[in-house]
Structure 1
Amino acid sequence: MGNVAKRPDGKYRARWRDLSGKEHAKHFTKKRDADAWLAIVEGDKLRGQYIDPTDRTTVAQYARRWAAARPHNPRTVRRVDSLIRTHIEGTSIGTRRLVQVLPSDAQAWVTDRSQGLSPSTLRLLVSLVRSIYTSAQHDRLVGSSPFAARLTMPESQQKRVVPLTVEQVHDLAAAMPPRNRAMVLTQAGLGLRIGELLALRLADVDFAGKVVRVETQIAPGERTRTAPKTAWSERTVPLPAPVAEALTAHVAAFPPPADGTVFTTRFGQPYRHDYYGTRIFQAAVAASGLPDGTTPHDLRHHYASVLLHAGESVVAVAERLGHKNAKLVLSTYGHLMPDSEERTRKAVENAWRKGSADHTRTDSRPERRSRRSRRFVRR
């Protein structure tokens, strides 16, 4: 238990020990204020809500501690490190104590960050800081999170995907160097992420069974294989005949090295994301006359659009793309569903016809009952 003692200068000192046994003190002019403070502290300790008011841990320091304890994969570690270094350390909240940041400070920080970040990246950053503060609450370093309050964020207007046509895909492949042509056809015909494409091994391709197993990826900035992006990314994809023919011709012209990597540089090394995506791919985009901003990811959009136009369900498309559920497919490609406008018209028309018919029948019944009742009265 704590105690209150009067000091020689006439003030009252409230003394208590925290949950670890460390002693703390706070001074008051009036004894009743010291007693009230001590009662609050002891009550918080009993309820498990005690917060050390003297803790000087900064937001940036705790963010580093939080990140070090997470079981993140190497790619996520790099992304989180970059966010903390660029957008927390050295900013208006990074150098402040955890307990000092107010909801108004959080909003000011979000507004400042929005000046240089896209809405999607800003939301990712805010989600990260919210997780950090939630952990700080669990560690009893703060009583509440300033990021729990509703924050005003810039509107995010996602552009509608305009998928490449089959002709554009073939034009792009034709503009590629011979060593890279099959890469375009393979990604467009299997819906692979660029990291999954670069990691493809000959052993992953079952020509007899007409399937391709997606089991590894190569992360940005790396040349070594790692586990797929998520547990749902590991999947088996049907192998269409045109892709099988392109792979067969590629392997014959450019035999894989000992580890079986299908697509390699002339030195037998896997491609890096940046080299393939910005040097080789963008040069072919310009040469083929495709829209500016076309990236390898657009080949994945092409794959999804082909499946949807063929009548595949959004659940099946999500599985082929390696997504956890169909929500992302609907939000990204919903406008590409075949005959969606006609289905919308028919849905409303059919519902209103049925509703009008039911309304007519309902309105006529009371009149019939009324006539019967009048006949009954006359009798």
Structure 2
Amino acid sequence: MAQRRTRRAFGGLRKLPSGRWQANYTGPDGAIHKAPSTFDSKLDAEAWLADRRREIDRDLWNPATADNRTCPLFGDYADEWLETRTIRGRPLKTRTHDHYRELLDRHLIPEFGDSPLDAITPAMVRQWHAHLLPNKATMRAHAYSLMRTIMNSAVGAEYIDANPCRVEGAGSAQRKSRTTPATVEELATIVENMPERLRLMVQLAAWCALRYGELIELRRKDVDLVGGTVAVTRAAVRRADGQYVVTTPKSEAGVRVVHMPPHVIPLAEEHLETHVGRGRDALLFEAGNGGYLTPTSLYRWYYPARRAAGRDDLRFHDLRHTGAVLAALTGATLAELQQRLGHSTVSAAMRYQHAAKGRDKKIAEALSKLIEGQDK
């Protein structure tokens, strides 16, 4: 809906898309002064302007108190925004909340915290962004995107008229390198060089494309050896203070049942028999102290194992990428990949299908073999 302005002998009125009214006037000092808040009706806005006109006529107008500013400071507004932010009606995930908190405390509030929202200009944002994390493109994009999102909320709350975050392309970062999935042979080498109690963890990360947080929260009750499945209904996330909390998987689609490839099922059975406690809630991959397995403890073994496979570049999360590409190579559809990986949208699944298209040469070679068979 277009914003409507009303011309008046004194002051101006504007009807906002929300249906509320905004009022402003030019004071004796030559500056434009806005009402400290919006109004339910045009009549209320006109009454506010009439009061300001009487103050001016009676020489009661004071430039120091003219605006009676109620626009909150960025720091206060950002803090409240973070604690009340929801996505599809649900609170932020623990890891997302902590990530936003870190970005605010390190990069946004030190720069803008003491500024009223309506005092932050596009020039201020451009200058801030120009010097922001020059060697960390991804974090730089995250910080800018958070700033833009918060200011969008301020526009919606009618504290500001327009978002001052207008740096084109600043909210995205180009990936410096593409992930190269592991081959089946490389996976086998990595597994062989892991301690026995962690070999199944690598297998499930790769062949079932499970996330790290999903893996460390798996319990005996989640594994069905008869059906050959793993139920993914929870994830463990490490907070900034080092404590773990149990939450749902990354997205709603992350709650899923994943079938293990037949060659993994005997390994799962052996692992349950040898390395897992008897209780239904016993963790599959327990740390030495009985708690959750930390990345540091895992990497102590994983890094030498990947080195033995000649893959120093392969992050543990890349095993999930490997599993996704392997699934795509079997001819899995987008919907099937989306379900297996626990993605809410098809965009990520499409990446793995594109990666699988590297098999086209192999397919062409196989087609030629059909002709060769007829020529004999």
Residue type matched to 1:239 in 2?
M
Aligned-residue offset at 1:117 = 2.2
User: Cα RMSD over matched residues?
Assistant: 3.3
Residue in 1 aligned with 2:315? 295
CA contact (8 A) 2:37 2:70 kept: no
Q: Is it true that 1:117 corresponds to 2:136 in the alignment?
A: yes
Q: 1:63 aligns with which of 61, 75, 78?
A: 78
Q: Distance in 1 between matches of 2:246 and 2:98?
A: 16
| Structure 1 residue matching 2:109: 3-state secondary structure | coil
Q: Is it true that 1:146 corresponds to 2:146 in the alignment?
A: no
Q: Is it true that 1:271 corresponds to 2:293 in the alignment?
A: yes
CA distance 1:62–1:275, shift in 2 (3 Å): farther
Residue in 2 aligned with 1:356? none
CA contact (8 A) 2:36 2:69 kept: no
Q: Distance in 1 between matches of 2:345 and 2:272?
A: 34
Residue in 2 aligned with 1:95? 114
Map 1:181-330 → 2, pairs under 5 A: 181-220=199-238, 221-256=242-277, 258=279, 259-276=281-298, 278-286=299-307, 288-330=308-350
Map 1:124-163 → 2, pairs under 5 A: 124-148=142-166, 150=168, 156-157=174-175, 159-163=177-181
Q: Out of 173-182 and 121-130, give the one that drifted further.
A: 121-130
CA distance 1:325–1:138, shift in 2 (3 Å): closer
Residue type matched to 1:59 in 2?
F
CA contact (8 A) 2:141 2:170 kept: no
Residue in 2 aligned with 1:72? 92
Residue in 2 aligned with 1:20? none
Unmatched runs of 5 consecutive residues or more in structure 2: 1-10, 12-23, 49-66, 86-90, 365-376
Q: Distance in 2 between matches of 1:275 and 1:109?
A: 38
Q: Distance in 2 between matches of 1:227 and 1:117?
A: 30
CA contact (8 A) 1:161 1:332 kept: no
CA contact (8 A) 2:71 2:159 kept: no
Q: Out of 103-112 and 56-65, give the one that drifted further.
A: 56-65
Deviations 1:260-287 (A, max 9, x none): 21111233322123432x323223223x
CA contact (8 A) 1:160 1:332 kept: no
Aligned-residue offset at 1:154 = 7.4
CA contact (8 A) 2:334 2:353 kept: no
CA distance 1:326–1:261, shift in 2 (3 Å): same
Instruction: Give the greater-gyration-radius structure (CA).
Output: 1
- Between the two proteins, the alignment pairs up a number of residues equal to 312
Deviations 1:3-22 (A, max 9, x none): xxxxxxxxxxx9xxxxxxxx
Residue in 2 aligned with 1:82? 102
TM-score calculated relative to the size of structure 1: 0.73
Unmatched runs of 5 consecutive residues or more in structure 1: 1-13, 15-23, 345-379
Residue in 2 aligned with 1:7? none
Q: Distance in 1 between matches of 2:310 and 2:362?
A: 30
CA distance 1:312–1:208, shift in 2 (3 Å): same
Aligned-residue offset at 1:341 = 6.6
TM-score calculated relative to the size of structure 2: 0.73
